[in-house]
């Protein structure tokens, strides 16, 4: 679902006061009445009262209504966002016919690949492109979904993008989302007795390396990275990790905080901090105290946290989907089912909590991207909806000013999901950008976008 799990840290449930408990040694029964006879008597009396109510009262089925209401409440307690939690399965069992899985650092990553020829199926990852009348850009696109989303969020855009570029388009589910396996990071920490810990599958570093791995899988020397919302963070971090492998960045409703001050002021502040550090003053950009990190880890991995994330997803999950659209009346059951399908996967709650913990750790240990945006030198397109309630369009405008030479496209009457809600306008914006960035003629691209 397109919203941030930081709500976990902002919401605190009300705790009800415990009911008074009668001491075990204190009996409420007279000495001459046994518990068995009392049970029988109560049962018979209830049947008599129910029969009397059915004769004398117009609400003849009132006891049955009480039972039905209780059963409905129990079913609601077993479900999250309408998905029954008693029948959770391994993510692989929820795969679609066009799903693929590949292992990366012990994690089975779910992904889909779309070839530029719609009639040709991709089998066994054979990516040889045959002759076609479609103009070829020669650069594959890797799609990076946002928080709470999955490969499904690119469902309407993948094939048109493949036709538009005449190349391959790949989308994958990052750990904690979609149908990618829910790895347990807590149990792996410190395994082997060495100092080096395994790579946290929920960390930004893992997503970056997985993105680069998919480039290798496609056999691409370079690729276009397209991110949505929080997926834009992965795209930009991948660029800084291997700029030579990123041909262009397309950032859709980017959840990247834009700088509020000019780059000149940022550089002056950096020089001032550097001089203070040389003078022996305290460096404020240090890691958190180990006790604080341990406390956060224990809190987010507790049974209370699991219960809380279920409550939040059940209460706000579908509401967040509707809030992400400008016109929520266009949301179909297919969309709701696509976003809630991962809630049928075993361990989805703990994976979200591990992802949240990893985000907190990353933010505490790394400088913000704000200070590095001016270093981006590849072509950049930023797309935003003018009525985005989750990441406002003014943030995208500021982000565009912070990245030299970037292009900004604002789609009218559109919310947080331009590639879903306004797919035609979205594709036209991508087409114009590719024409500008790579000099492909309009005659070649227009039929592909139709």
For residue 80, the cross-strand partners are 83
H helices of 242-368, where? Answer: 263-278, 290-300, 303-323, 333-340, 348-365
Contacts of 192 (CB under 8 A, 6+ apart): none
For residue 221, the tally of other CB atoms under 10 A from its CB is 12
Six-digit token string for 223: 């690729």
What is the tens place of the pLDDT at every residue in 194-216? 445 678 999 999 999 999 999 99
Length of the chain in terms of residues written: 450
pTM of the model: 0.72
For the chain, how are helix, strand and coil distributed in percent, rounded to 5?
A: 50, 10, 40
pLDDT band at 233 (very low <50, low <70, confident <90, very high): very high
Q: What is the rounded average pLDDT of the residues 391-396?
A: 96
**Average pLDDT score over residue span 19-36:** 41
For residue 63, the model assigns a pLDDT of 59
The pLDDT of 300-323, averaged and rounded, is 86
Q: Quick: pLDDT tens for 355-392.
A: 988 888 776 666 678 889 999 999 999 999 999 999 99
What CA–CA distance (Å, rounded) separates 209 from 228? 18
pLDDT reading at 244 higher than 80: yes
Question: pLDDT tens across 412-429, in order?
Answer: 999 999 999 999 999 999
Local confidence band at 84 (pLDDT 50, 70, 90 cut-offs): confident
The residue ranking higher by pLDDT, 309 or 101, is: 101
Is residue 178 scored above 90 in pLDDT?
A: yes
More confidently predicted of 78 and 107: 107
Cβ-contact 166, 207 below 8 angstroms = no
293-297, 313-317, 322-326: segment of lowest average pLDDT: 293-297
Beta strands, E only, 192-290 = 223-228, 246-252
Six-digit token string for 329: 């009346």
């Amino acid at each position: 679902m397109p919203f941030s799990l930081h709500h976990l840290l902002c919401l605190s449930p009300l705790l009800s006061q415990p009911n008074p408990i009668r001491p075990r040694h204190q009996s409420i029964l007279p000495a001459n009445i046994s518990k068995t006879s009392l049970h029988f008597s109560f049962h018979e009396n209830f049947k008599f009262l129910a029969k009397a109510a059915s004769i004398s009262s117009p609400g003849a089925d009132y006891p049955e209504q009480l039972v039905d209401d209780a059963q409905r409440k129990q079913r609601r307690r077993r479900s999250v966002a309408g998905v029954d939690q008693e029948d959770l399965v391994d993510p692989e069992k929820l795969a679609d016919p066009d799903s693929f899985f590949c292992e990366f650092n012990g994690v089975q990553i779910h992904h889909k690949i779309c070839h530029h020829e719609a009639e040709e199926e991709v089998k066994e990852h054979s990516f040889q492109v045959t002759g076609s009348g479609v103009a070829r850009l020669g650069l594959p696109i890797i799609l990076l979904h946002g928080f709470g989303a999955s490969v499904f969020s690119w469902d309407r855009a993948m094939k048109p993008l493949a036709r538009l570029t005449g190349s391959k388009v790949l989308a994958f589910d990052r750990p904690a989302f979609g149908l990618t396996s829910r790895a347990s990071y807590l149990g792996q920490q410190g395994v082997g007795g060495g100092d080096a810990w395994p790579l946290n599958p929920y960390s930004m570093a893992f997503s970056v390396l997985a993105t680069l791995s998919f480039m290798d899988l496609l056999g691409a020397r370079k690729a276009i990275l397209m991110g949505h919302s929080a997926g834009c963070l992965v795209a930009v971090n991948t660029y800084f990790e291997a700029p030579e492998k990123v041909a262009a960045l397309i950032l859709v409703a980017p959840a990247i905080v834009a700088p509020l001050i000019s780059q000149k002021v940022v550089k002056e502040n950096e020089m001032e901090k550097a001089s203070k550090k040389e003078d022996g003053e305290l460096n404020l950009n240090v890691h958190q105290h180990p006790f604080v990190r341990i406390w956060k880890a224990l809190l987010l991995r507790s049974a209370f946290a699991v219960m809380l994330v279920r409550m939040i997803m059940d209460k706000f999950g579908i509401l967040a989907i509707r809030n992400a659209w400008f016109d929520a009346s266009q949301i179909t059951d297919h969309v709701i089912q696509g976003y809630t399908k991962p809630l049928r996967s075993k361990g989805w709650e703990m994976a979200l909590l591990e992802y949240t913990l990893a985000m907190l750790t990353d933010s505490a240990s790394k400088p913000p991207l704000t200070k590095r945006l001016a270093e981006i030198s590849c072509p950049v397109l930023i797309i935003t909806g003018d009525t985005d309630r989750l990441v406002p369009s003014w943030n995208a405008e500021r982000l565009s000013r912070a990245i030299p030479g970037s292009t900004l496209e604002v789609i009218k009457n559109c919310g947080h999901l331009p590639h879903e809600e306004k797919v035609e306008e979205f594709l036209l914006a991508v087409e114009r950008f590719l024409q500008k960035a790579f000099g492909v003629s309009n005659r070649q691209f227009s039929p592909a976008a139709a």
